[in-house]
Chains A and B, each alone.
Chain A
Amino acid sequence: MYTTQETICALATPSGSGAIGIIRLSGPKAYEIANTIFHGKDLTKQATHTIHFGTVRDDNKIIDEVLVSLFKGPNSYTGEDSVEISCHGSSFILGKVIALCLKNGARFAKAGEFTQRAFVNGKLDLAQAEAVADLIASESESAHELAMNQMRGGFSDKIKTLRDELIHFASLIELELDFGEEDVEFADRDDLKELVDRLTVVLYNLIQSFSAGNVLKNGVPIAIVGEPNVGKSTLLNAILNEERAIVSDIAGTTRDAIEDEVNLGGIIFRFIDTAGLRETTDVVENIGITKTYQKVDQATVILYLVDAKKSTKEEIQKTVATIQARIVDTNKRLIVVANKLENELNDKKEVPTAILDKFEGLDEVHYLSALQKTNVEELCAHLVELVKSNIVSNSDVTVSNYRHYEALSKAYEALMKVTEGLAVNITGDFLAMDIRQSLHYLGEITGEITTDDLLGNIFSKFCIGK
């Protein structure tokens, strides 16, 4: 059981060594505890939202020089008195400062507890709280942007507007049900239909944006398909190199490449089944093989890799047609990569006509040499461009959370029943039932209807410190 009497503390920045590390305290004794270990001004007498320089000492032994930021409740993230201590980012120092906080009466925070308190104190609604979880987990710029947008309430606002319109609609219907015997004007069915149509379009777009939102959070699934020995792993390595080149511009941020996840221009690309990719024995003729199809189905971008010298025009054209037939989904993009053009591309990167002929009539063909890393940079830039133009800009508000997606889908389903009902002239009591259903599901998103499972699920996702 959770009580607000306790003051909690945790490291708010990632563990490991960084330039600085921040320790956060929240609860009724946050100021008192900070003041005990801090030497400098009397923190309890300072104004909220101010920063103070001083030292943290353990029995007069200086641990570190620190900056302390003060947030008086309710004007803090959690809604309680909060203090943030910025230390130098050494594990030893951070560990020592936390230990001091604990010694002076704080308790180590549980996963997600800061956000849980923010939610409980009415600082965040459910959708916003979930966005925080996403924010913490977000690895790339786009996902970060999405989470920020949601946290500022953009998503909740949109849903709320929708709900209000629906509530108005529902009350019109209720009016004619309960006062049908009296001299009231009935809700105009054409107006109602217009309203429902408009709402379903908005809901539909939000639902569609789920795939975009999810893609941003989890990475754009990308599949490299092609015959054995066309250079699939060589290409993957070349792309990984591109990422390294990008991130290494910022000193000290280089990280070990996760082999199947690549961050290009702020967007995460996730290579599907790359383990399989490396050992794949798929042959183009066998593109019908389930496994390859699965990859195509899961991917948003399909890189069809061809040995541009060995493959015949007929083979290439046939395979492209097969894949295209498979990807009727408009969100998927097929890029043909003509590989193994070592020494074939001259300085101006012009492609020999014999090669060009094999790819006649195909859109989006990239001519490159994965081995020599010729044109790989261009391919990467193209991938980024593709995702940004097709996915990110599709919707100003994006649904990225599966729970939201499900609730929106159910609300949408119920609204479709309203539309069906209007079409066959069904009576108001049944229309009202489906409208109420829609309202119910929209309410689930903004947190107006919550169940214990729901909350448990949300809070278990938070990592410590936020």
Chain B
Amino acid sequence: MEKEYDVIVVGGGHAGCEATAAAANMGSKTLLITMNMGTIAQMSCNPAMGGVAKGQIVREIDAMGGYSGIVTDKTAIQFRMLNLSKGPAMWSPRAQSDRWLFAQEWRIMLEQTPNVEFWQDMVTGLITEKGAVKGVKTSLGIEFKSKAVVLTNGTFLNGLIHIGEKNFGGGRAAERHATGITEELVKLGFEAGRMKTGTPPRVDGRSLDYSKMEEQKGDEHPSKFSYHPTTKPLINQKSCYITYTNETVHNTLREGFDRSPMFSGAIEGTGPRYCPSIEDKIERFSERDRHQLFVEPEGWNTVEIYVNGFSTSLPLEVQEKAIKQVAGFENAKIFRPGYAIEYDYFPPTQLKHTLETKLVDGLYFAGQINGTTGYEEAACQGLMAGINAHLKINGKDALILKRDEAYIGVLIDDLITKGTKEPYRMFTSRAEYRILLRQDNADVRLTPLSHKIGLATDVQLRLVEQKQKSLKALMKKLDNSSVTPDETNTYLSESGTANIKQKVKISNILSRPQVNIKSFAQAVPTISSLITNEDPTVIEQAEILIKYQGYIDREKEMAEKMTRLEEVKLNEEMDYFQFKSLSSEAREKLNSIKPRTLGQASRISGVSPSDISVLMIHLGR
């Protein structure tokens, strides 16, 4: 048995899988250690990838050369582009996945990736030497040596599952938790905390009455996540359903409140405010007489159903009684109860931008261990940790994505700069420049960067270059060709916009908000002949660029302004306690975070604008 690797990844969830794939694809000999090889890439919570802001992240992962987009495309049972009624920055891909196929596809892709090896075992400790990681120890007493270790332990570190008044150790329902690592990290000087998350009951789909629910179909013309042409959009799709709780349900749930670990104080960890349990929703929004539930199938062939929105840790009999009072659930049979889980995390302000810990050289954290929530958030951290672990052990410059380059950049910068008090989920509003960070241009933004460091493939880069070339050509055509009033005015009137009196450039017409290139092409042959042979993604890009040019330019300008603060580098060894003119809170925060740039310093909560001015003065600016 081999005992020496370049990179060891601990944990086989979304973060661990992406970290393994990235490091291995870049050329590091990588070992993935998981407690159970049968549960690699489990979707522990809902069987879906993407959504608002999260969908953009999956596209970014794909553009960088990660696997999440490909796996999602290959295993989706429904695809929807959310927020199409809003602007292009908000368009967000989301897919329902077949839970089993998803895990299986990930496993197969990893197996087929060169440089990846597996080991089923529990890591119980780290081997460190002079502040640098040298490997891991396992419960079977084996020592694996490596130059870097990526910890992606998810909810497994001292995981504690709560259902009503019962609680027991576990990393996921029916899986044991991991012990030893937290204690060792604390001994090394890390600060640890507790977080909480939860999941709803799964039910038997055959016991539901869908006629009492609203059907939610997939898109008529589904798109997909991956930029790779090898994956194809779905042809057949499964529907989800929407139903609602009611006052009776709420009253039943309330009866169980005295036995709720949430309210009894049994749960100490902080849960996410934006993804509350059903009991939390009822308690906090008592004025609402109903809450929306999404009824999501767990796969193509299984009858198991995920009841999204009904996350709960109330006693099983309360869960059962209450769920049967939901419209369509009168005869519902529960397969698995909902539960809450508490787990250890490490405040992410203890990390560098590369996700390497400040305390231990070569040790990286990714995923829920950093206080985040969500498959996509975890996956992208794994990707970046894997990339940077490989770069570091090969003596190369780190890859740090900026806030105006990627949601991934926003996420990591937020985590390490501000930390998080509740499980951190990505929202578009966390990004200052969301009009630049669209799902349609993730490849343009990131593939060249990733190719440069040796992850995105030549094929990927050529695709982007080809797309850019076609885009340029099409934009030129739309700029240089005109339409006449005769061929256009009927369409313009029907679209509710002003007629033209003379020949007008096509790009001019397209810039009108009421005009849509697809319907325009259907109505006017000149347009359809121009775009007929173009790739739909190129057409989409062209339309976005023409329509929103003003906004895009303005946001670029703002980003450039911000960049100037980002370019003012701060000494990471600086002792901020020497600056008496800083507020004491700022001194403490700056000293613990040690920001890389003045821009980062300005985003630390507790560091006020006048503190930044003080720093500027100290820097002699």
Contacts and interface: CB of A to CB of B under 8 A. Distances in A.
Interface of A: 1-2, 4, 116-117, 119-122, 125-126, 174, 177-183, 424, 426-430, 432-433, 436-437, 440, 443, 447-452, 455-456
Given A116-B617, A429-B87, A455-B617, A180 B612 contact: no
A139 B45 CA distance: 70
Contacts of A426: 87, 513
Given A448-B609, A450-B612, A174 B618 contact: no
A451 B610 contact: no
A49 B384 CA distance: 58
A250 to B, nearest CB: 40
B609 A449 contact: yes
Contacts of A177: 52, 83, 86, 90, 428-429
Nearest to B292: A183
B618 A452 contact: no
Contacts of B292: 182-183
Given A177-B90, A180-B52, 19 more contacts: A2-B617, A2-B618, A120-B613, A122-B610, A174-B428, A174-B429, A177-B83, A178-B52, A178-B428, A180-B82, A427-B85, A429-B87, A433-B435, A437-B558, A450-B609, A455-B616, A455-B617, A455-B621, A456-B621
A427 B87 contact: yes
A461 to B, nearest CB: 16
B86 A180 contact: yes
Interface string B595-621: 000000000000011101110111111
Contacts, number: 101
Contact of B82 (A120, A181, A432): A181
Nearest to B86: A427
A441 B507 CA distance: 32
B616 A450 contact: yes
B53 interface: yes
B11 to A, nearest CB: 28
Nearest to A443: B609
B583 interface: yes
User: Which 3 pairs between the two chains have the least Cβ-Cβ distance?
Assistant: A452-B621, A183-B292, A174-B429
B91 to A, nearest CB: 10
A440 B618 CA distance: 25
Q: Give the size category of B's interface with A.
A: 35 or more
Interface of B: 51-53, 82-83, 85-87, 89-90, 274, 291-292, 427-429, 432, 434-435, 513, 548, 551, 554-555, 558, 564-565, 580-581, 583, 608-610, 612-614, 616-621
B274 to A, nearest CB: 8
Contacts of A452: 616, 621
A116 B428 CA distance: 38
B513 A180 contact: no
B558 to A, nearest CB: 7
A429 B547 CA distance: 14
23 contacts: A1-B617, A1-B619, A4-B580, A119-B613, A120-B613, A177-B86, A178-B52, A178-B428, A179-B52, A180-B83, A180-B90, A181-B52, A182-B292, A427-B85, A427-B87, A429-B87, A429-B428, A437-B554, A447-B609, A450-B612, A450-B616, A452-B616, A455-B613
A432 B548 CA distance: 14
A2 B621 CA distance: 10
Contacts of B53: 178
Nearest to A180: B83
A455 B614 CA distance: 10
Contacts of B435: 429-430, 433
Nearest to B561: A451
Nearest to A120: B581
Contacts of B620: 1
A4 B578 CA distance: 10
Contacts of B608: 122
A63 B274 CA distance: 72
Contacts of A2: 617-618
A427 to B, nearest CB: 4
A440 B558 CA distance: 10
Contacts of A447: 609-610, 613
Nearest to B602: A449
A428 B621 CA distance: 38
Given A116-B617, A427-B90, A181 B609 contact: no
A154 to B, nearest CB: 19
A429 B609 contact: no
Contacts of B89: 429
A116 B614 CA distance: 10
B583 A122 contact: yes
A92 to B, nearest CB: 36
A452 B613 CA distance: 8
B581 A121 contact: yes
Contacts of A182: 292
Contacts of B513: 424, 426
Contacts of B548: 430
Given A1-B620, A180-B82, A450 B429 contact: no
Nearest to A2: B617
Contacts of A117: 581
Contacts of A449: 609
A178 B613 contact: no
A1 B578 CA distance: 14
A125 B608 CA distance: 11
Nearest to B425: A178
Nearest to B583: A122
Contact of B434 (A1, A125, A429): A429
Contacts of B581: 4, 117, 120-121
Residue from B90, B555, B610, B616 with most neighbouring chain A CB atoms (10 Å): B610
A125 B610 contact: yes
A428 B86 contact: yes
Contacts of B610: 119-120, 122, 125, 447
Contacts of A456: 621
Contacts of A181: 51-52, 82-83
Nearest to A432: B429
A429 B291 CA distance: 26
